[in-house]
Structure 1
Amino acid sequence: MSIILATPPSLALTASDFFVSDLCTVNSTIKKVCLNDTISKPGTCYEDSCCTSFETATSWHYRIAQGSHVVFSCLGIIVIAIYVLKYASKHMLPSNVRVLVSIMLLLMFAHSIDMIMIHVYHISKSFQAISSIPCSVRVQVSFCALFRYTFSFCTLGLAFCQYCLYIDRLFCALYNNYSKYQDVIQYVLVLKWISMTAGIIVWVYREEDSDSYLLSCLNIPLNSMVDLSFVTAAVFPINIVCCFLSVIMFRHFKKKENRTRFELNSHFTAAVDVESSEFLYIVTISQAIFIVIYPVLSLSMRFFYEDTPRPLHLTFATLSYVFSIYCFVIPFVMIDYGRKRDDTRRTRIWSHVKLKSVGAEGADNYFGMMKSQWE
């Protein structure tokens, strides 16, 4: 039995009726009846029919879009493993920063695993689909709940984890008893991160219709779309503020490092803070690029929605979810920073080793280093 698409002589609902009833997200220009559509609500527009879902799921461009998430997620897992095993221990990071950076890596790892599971499932399902049962390519919202909660928690958690990082750095810069209460601050920030992230995720998906169907678990249920847009708009400024703070923190700790040249313990602590600030600055800038790209792509898709065939629109929507690339690029940036710091450290060590310590040249080297301490 094949799919039958037929244009009805008269529509039960007008274009405005579709829009008001929330059965369509836009005023459709093409409306057809899918006779094999067994799960859509009465009056569902052509763009949301099982027939269009089948056409999209079995298209090569949509499979490539889903496959790109699998590829970047696999690369992300590899890069995260390389960073943790080879470079993480070479960073001079304060204890609290190290804990929160480890949480970020764990979130990126979990997100990558989730993306692989989602898209491998959907790709394999599309190859098993048959045209006589087009609705088989769609999945129930209740089935997607675990996957959706996971990747939503990871993406939102990454933003709030960065927020907690800079709160810790502000405490370090402004609170005189920071060292004494460092562990307490760490526990409070971690608890705050968990409660904020989990609470907002539960709130966003509180009204989802668990009995409705989606083409992909990556799609957000219609009932949660507005709430998610509000959260995205609220979280967006966090990255901008963190970029601004990263510059201020670097300058503050750099001045502190210069002031404490003759106090060994304070100077070492300040040097660690300077390196952590430089590391966070590079990571934050990289994160900000993705945070800016994502809403730009999302808004661009909505602007061209009515002029784009539904299968192509869903393909672009899948590609615009850039956080699979994010989970590959950010650990790669961390590796690049760690490698450069390691190379710089080795170069300085060898330059000191090669300096002569005897004779006239040795004396010049010694007095030159002494003089540099007073500059």
Structure 2
Amino acid sequence: MSLILTTPTAPAISASDFFVSDNCTVHPKIDKICSNDVISKPGTCYEDSCCTSLETATSWYYRGAQGSHVVFSFLGLIVILTYVLKYSSKHMLPCNVRVLVTIMLILMFAHSIDMVMIHVYHIVQSYKAVPTNPCFVRVQVSFCALFRYTFSFCTLGLAFCQYCLYIDRLLCALYSNYIKYQKVIQYVLVVKWFVMSAGVITFVYREENPNDYLLSCLNIPLDSMVDLSFVTAAVFPINIICCFLSVIMFRHFKKKENRSRFEINSHFTAAVDVESSEFLYIVTMSQAVFIVIYPVLSLTMRFFYEDTPRPLHLTFATLSYVFSIYSFVIPLVMVNYGRKREDNRRAKIMNHLKLKSVGAEGADNYFGMMKSQWE
């Protein structure tokens, strides 16, 4: 790699402009010009040159960060398929909840595939790169559009899907004609989810320059950075609200189940609502962990921006994107819930089979079960 040390007499842009444009640290220690850099804009410093991109892409720690996304995304695909094929039918969910949970699974599945494709591509490109062509590791924004729109739609869609889930649960609890208009509510919520997700993603990337270059398709174009920050701040409270609603809904449907134990149809419906509320509570609390971790990591990374060399900064930025782990952990939580429900159901069946149904002991068992219905 050929590097020429220079001391420019008049920098093309100020240090504060460097920070705003994310081209380099606010106070760069050295300025270097890469003689083989054919795509960096005039005025950019060494911190954002093709040479630094090559240095970053070929480092073991950056490849390790990208490899972690491949591993967790691949494991996520396996766990999602395990849940769908083996455990999704092991617990009861209302029709509308099942549809929206299915959408969540599809989003996580698509996100995992997207992450594997992105990072496998970049890792392969890093091994093909040579010092005589350091710009080879960088890709145009237009090339990344398909990948970026996909994983952005999936991550934002997961938040809005959760939002729609709790709208449905609120309507179920408060709207007396919910059963009559259940299908209509389902269609409205699905359309609302899609329009909101697609609309916000279109808004965020409306000003991106397709001719700009990025080291990774996971990186957000500079023209979209501010809009994405506002959207993240606006979406963040959704999960917090849903956490409170999950507790309230569980308590509401549990009381409804207790009140309706002498009406078979109402009691069964309430039991299904209780089980779905318990399921949503566990999933929502697990989601909340990642929704909190992601902005904390992002802000921490930004806080140490000036003191971190750009190769390390880009590595931390790649690791801070926790939604690859999210797409593995949330389906794992679903699998664990389905497995526990199956084990509990099997244990109850076996306990009933062990009960004697004749003689004095059989009579005690029968009247004991009858008495429990009145308690």
Give the secondary-structure state (helix, strand or coil) at the position aligned to 1:33: strand
- Identify if the C-alpha distance between structure 1 residues 164 and 9 changes in structure 2 by more than 3 Å, giving closer, same or farther: closer
Is the CA contact 1:23–1:43 (under 8 Å) kept in the aligned structure 2? no
Partner of 1:227 in structure 2?
Answer: 227
| Aligned residue identity for 2:249 | M
Distance 2:366 2:301 in 1: 64
Cα shift readout 1:183-228 (whole Å, capped 9, x = no counterpart)? 0000000000000000000000000011000000000000000000
Cα shift readout 1:243-267 (whole Å, capped 9, x = no counterpart)? 0000000000000000000100000
Gapped regions of structure 2 (runs ≥ 5): none
Partner of 1:186 in structure 2?
Answer: 186
- Identify if the C-alpha distance between structure 1 residues 9 and 212 changes in structure 2 by more than 3 Å, giving closer, same or farther: closer
Partner of 2:364 in structure 1?
Answer: 364
Distance 1:86 1:249 in 2: 27
Is the CA contact 2:12–2:42 (under 8 Å) kept in the aligned structure 1? no
- Identify if the C-alpha distance between structure 1 residues 243 and 322 changes in structure 2 by more than 3 Å, giving closer, same or farther: same
| Aligned residue identity for 1:163 | Y
Is the CA contact 2:69–2:115 (under 8 Å) kept in the aligned structure 1? yes
Percent identity, please.
78
Distance 2:23 2:66 in 1: 24
Is the CA contact 1:3–1:134 (under 8 Å) kept in the aligned structure 2? no
Q: How does 1:260-275 map to 2 (within 5 A)?
A: 260-275=260-275
Q: How does 1:1-375 map to 2 (within 5 A)?
A: 2-13=1-12, 15-16=14-15, 18-19=17-18, 22=21, 24=23, 26-30=25-29, 31-375=31-375
Cα shift readout 1:261-318 (whole Å, capped 9, x = no counterpart)? 0100000000000000000000000000000000000001011111111111111110
How far off is 1:14 after superposition? 5.8
Distance 2:174 2:146 in 1: 41
Distance 1:50 1:195 in 2: 38
Distance 2:16 2:294 in 1: 32
- Identify if the C-alpha distance between structure 1 residues 14 and 325 changes in structure 2 by more than 3 Å, giving closer, same or farther: same
Is the CA contact 2:97–2:165 (under 8 Å) kept in the aligned structure 1? yes
Give the secondary-structure state (helix, strand or coil) at the position aligned to 1:89: coil
How far off is 1:20 after superposition? 7.9
Distance 1:23 1:255 in 2: 54
How far off is 1:28 after superposition? 3.0
RMSD of the TM alignment (CA)? Answer: 1.3
How many residues are matched?
Answer: 374
How far off is 1:25 after superposition? 5.9
Distance 2:173 2:97 in 1: 13
TM-score by length of 1: 0.97
Is the CA contact 2:290–2:322 (under 8 Å) kept in the aligned structure 1? yes
